[in-house]
A and B are shown apart, each in its own frame.
Chain A
Amino acid sequence: MTASLRAMGALVRRALNEILRVPGGAIPGVLAPTIFMLGLSAVFGKASHLPGFTASDFRTFIVPVGFLQGASFTGAATGVNLARDIEQGWFDRLLLSPTPRPVLLAGLVGSASLRALMPASFLLVVALIVGVHWPGVLGLVVAGALVMGLACVMALWAVMLALRFRTQQAAPLMQIGGFIAVLFTTAYAPQALLTGWLRDVARINPVTHVLDGVRQGFVAQVTWGKTWPAFVAVAGLMLVLGALAVRGLRRVGV
């Protein structure tokens, strides 16, 4: 058990090391959610004046979407990095170690959860500077935990694809999954204001619950009723995608 934890820690450190050694590589993923937040709030800022809009300020409403986008980018990057490691043979080295397969997976995914805090932190600082409502410590802790959880979910998705296709050419598939999952929710407007297919998709999309969980502290108060569905959604997605990723990992080699 201790050896497994040490192995997991070593893999997480390796992934984080990459950010330190090639900081330029992390810049797009860190900046994109902030640019998204600033751009969308400039274009759709007045949407918050619509009757039924649950936030008084569109920027405050859209910031949590940026958090989840950052988590999604980070998760996809984990899959792309794994595909690169597969192409370059590094992954064989991991498979040749006696470390149990689920521990290898946990190391990869665990690094994504930590890396997701980078774009979230940058976005939070910019958001607070431009006047976004302070979510409170509890709201921030809940949001942070959910962002880390969703990063794991998206990393599992991307890892599953990396193991399936074994090439970085699968990167668009890894990224598109995150886009769909995050944006086909109540990302732009509350559920009551959505219409047509987007309303239906947002209603059944589990990431809507995650977004509501992250958003609650920004637009109102943290409540148990908004918190538990968010964590259940993350846990459920992790369970399903984790099982698929472990299955993919077991199909690689013996």
Chain B
Amino acid sequence: MPAIEATKLEREFKGGLRAVDGIDLAVAPGEVYAFLGPNGAGKTTTVRMLVTLLRPTGGEARVAGFDVARQPAEVRRRIGVALQEAALDLLMTGRELIELQATLHGIDPRSVRSRGDELLERVGLTEARDRRVGTYSGGMRRRLDLAMALIHEPQVLFLDEPTTGLDPVSRLTLWDEVRRLKGEGTTVFLTTQYLEEADQLADRLSIISAGKLVAEGTPGELKAQVGRPHLDITLSDGADPGDANRVLERFGELQPPGPDCHFSLRVGHGAADIAPVVRALDEAGLRVASLQVIEPSLDDVFVAKTGRHLEGASEQREAAADAAGSDGDR
């Protein structure tokens, strides 16, 4: 039985806006499933329906085996949710908040304190547990939010853009926690606009655009759908382009040579093709000045499926460019 299952799930708002338009999805128990899409695509609306905060206007959804519309209380007992904005009472301390959450989930009062402290330690907030949440940083608030979502050991955890606005260190800490939860068998439904996040964490992912699912699969499967990897090769000055063409053609589909003896060769496997290609060029007396494997990215998948880039992708491209720039400066 899937941990999360939606069939023709729909949500139409007043005025006829159909935010979610008949999506089907199935998430296996223990799976980390990423739900990708730009702002306004329908991610949060979908999550709010799955966690019983919003009534579907069409279709069905079951979470942990229970119908979200007909058995919402059963669903709530089995899910943990960290919504997009970490909704916390800033006047309360971390410990007070987590204990309130435990009480609302009906946890035995004798184990509320120990369970709360255990989770605060797990997310690295032991030192700050008696401080008001208003003094916490954004990353600390997210971690507290996650701890609160885990207080009742949910079968299914929903994380709605958990790392948006976080610094890289906090982001990595949260990723580690998601991996640990997966190791413990928790199903994680993760919405994100960060492609790298989906790539790093998800067993499978789907892409939602304008309320419809436009792609679903493992990151590898989806990348394979948009094209094979290619090698960007630049030969040393003086190399004969004709010789290079004859060698490279044996390994794959060769694009016309660019300036400065630059070649783009579409290959079957990516990194595994490097050694035979370089060996063949060497045997032909052609020296390689630089070589780079270009794998299709999830952004390529996103563009192919939706015709647009994901907002987060541009940030990531810029970050990658910055990183490359600083590498080059060193």
Other contacts beyond A7-B104, A253-B72: 9, CB < 8 A: A6-B106, A10-B104, A14-B89, A14-B100, A88-B87, A94-B104, A96-B53, A97-B105, A254-B52
Q: Give every chain B residue within 8 A of A200 (Cβ-Cβ).
A: none
Residue of A18, A92, A94, A98 touching B106 (CB-CB under 8 A)? A98
Q: Give every chain B residue within 8 A of A121 (Cβ-Cβ).
A: none
Q: Chain B: residues with CB nearer than 8 A to chain A?
A: 51-55, 68-69, 72-73, 76-77, 79, 81, 83, 85, 87-89, 91-92, 96, 99-101, 103-106, 109, 132, 148
Chain B nearest Cβ from A1, distance in angstroms = 11
Given A96-B52, A96-B76, A254-B72, also A90-B88 (CB < 8 A): yes
Contact between B53 and A98, CB atoms less than 8 A apart: no
How far apart are the CA atoms of A174 and B317 in the complex, in Å?
50
11 cross-chain CB contacts under 8 A: A10-B100, A21-B132, A89-B83, A89-B87, A96-B76, A97-B104, A97-B105, A98-B105, A99-B104, A253-B72, A254-B53
Contact between B91 and A18, CB atoms less than 8 A apart: yes
Per-residue interface assignment for chain A, residues 78 to 100, with 1 indicating a CB less than 8 Å from any chain B CB and 0 otherwise: 00000000001111111111111
Q: Chain A: residues with CB nearer than 8 A to chain B?
A: 3, 6-7, 9-10, 14, 17-18, 21-22, 88-100, 253-254
Chain A nearest Cβ from B61, distance in angstroms = 10
Contact between A17 and B91, CB atoms less than 8 A apart: yes
Contact between A89 and B85, CB atoms less than 8 A apart: yes
Residue of B85, B91, B101, B148 touching A21 (CB-CB under 8 A)? B91
Contact between A96 and B103, CB atoms less than 8 A apart: no
Residue of A89, A92, A93 touching B101 (CB-CB under 8 A)? A93
How far apart are the CA atoms of A97 and B79 in the complex, in Å?
9
Contact between B54 and A254, CB atoms less than 8 A apart: yes
Given A98-B106, A254-B69, also A92-B53 (CB < 8 A): yes
Chain B nearest Cβ from A3, distance in angstroms = 4
Q: Give every chain B residue within 8 A of A22 (Cβ-Cβ).
A: 91
Chain B nearest Cβ from A222, distance in angstroms = 39
Q: Give every chain B residue within 8 A of A3 (Cβ-Cβ).
A: 106
Q: Give every chain A residue within 8 A of B54 (Cβ-Cβ).
A: 253-254
How far apart are the CA atoms of A214 and B87 in the complex, in Å?
40
Chain A nearest Cβ from B128, distance in angstroms = 17
Chain A nearest Cβ from B234, distance in angstroms = 52
Contact between B76 and A14, CB atoms less than 8 A apart: no
Given A89-B85, A99-B104, also A254-B92 (CB < 8 A): no
How far apart are the CA atoms of A164 and B54 in the complex, in Å?
15
Q: Give every chain B residue within 8 A of A92 (Cβ-Cβ).
A: 53, 83, 87
Q: For A90, A97, A100, which residue has the most chain B Cβ atoms within 10 angstroms?
A: A97
Residue of A9, A17, A93, A253 touching B55 (CB-CB under 8 A)? A253
Nearest A residue to B91 via CB reads: A21
Given A17-B96, A96-B51, A253-B52, also A7-B87 (CB < 8 A): no
Given A90-B87, A97-B76, A98-B106, also A14-B52 (CB < 8 A): no
Chain A nearest Cβ from B165, distance in angstroms = 15
Q: Give every chain A residue within 8 A of B77 (Cβ-Cβ).
A: 98
How far apart are the CA atoms of A91 and B104 in the complex, in Å?
13
How far apart are the CA atoms of A90 and B77 in the complex, in Å?
18
Chain A nearest Cβ from B158, distance in angstroms = 9
Closest 8 CB pairs of A and B: A89-B87, A97-B104, A3-B106, A10-B103, A254-B72, A254-B52, A21-B91, A98-B76
How far apart are the CA atoms of A254 and B56 in the complex, in Å?
9
How far apart are the CA atoms of A7 and B112 in the complex, in Å?
13
Q: Give every chain A residue within 8 A of B73 (Cβ-Cβ).
A: 98, 100
How far apart are the CA atoms of A78 and B254 in the complex, in Å?
70
Chain B nearest Cβ from A163, distance in angstroms = 14
How far apart are the CA atoms of A96 and B88 in the complex, in Å?
14
Q: Give every chain B residue within 8 A of A90 (Cβ-Cβ).
A: 87-89
How far apart are the CA atoms of A179 and B51 in the complex, in Å?
39
Chain A nearest Cβ from B213, distance in angstroms = 22
Q: Give every chain B residue within 8 A of A18 (Cβ-Cβ).
A: 91
How far apart are the CA atoms of A150 and B86 in the complex, in Å?
35
Contact between A17 and B52, CB atoms less than 8 A apart: no
Residue of B53, B96, B101, B132 touching A253 (CB-CB under 8 A)? B53
Contact between A6 and B109, CB atoms less than 8 A apart: yes
How far apart are the CA atoms of A103 and B69 in the complex, in Å?
20
Q: For A18, A95, A100, which residue has the most chain B Cβ atoms within 10 angstroms?
A: A95
Chain A nearest Cβ from B157, distance in angstroms = 12
How far apart are the CA atoms of A52 and B92 in the complex, in Å?
53
Given A89-B83, A90-B89, A96-B76, also A254-B101 (CB < 8 A): no
Nearest A residue to B70 via CB reads: A254
Q: Give every chain A residue within 8 A of B148 (Cβ-Cβ).
A: 93
How far apart are the CA atoms of A63 and B261 in the complex, in Å?
95
Q: Give every chain A residue within 8 A of B109 (Cβ-Cβ).
A: 6
How far apart are the CA atoms of A77 and B100 in the complex, in Å?
22
Chain B nearest Cβ from A128, distance in angstroms = 33
How far apart are the CA atoms of A91 and B51 in the complex, in Å?
14
How far apart are the CA atoms of A18 and B101 in the complex, in Å?
17
How far apart are the CA atoms of A92 and B96 in the complex, in Å?
18
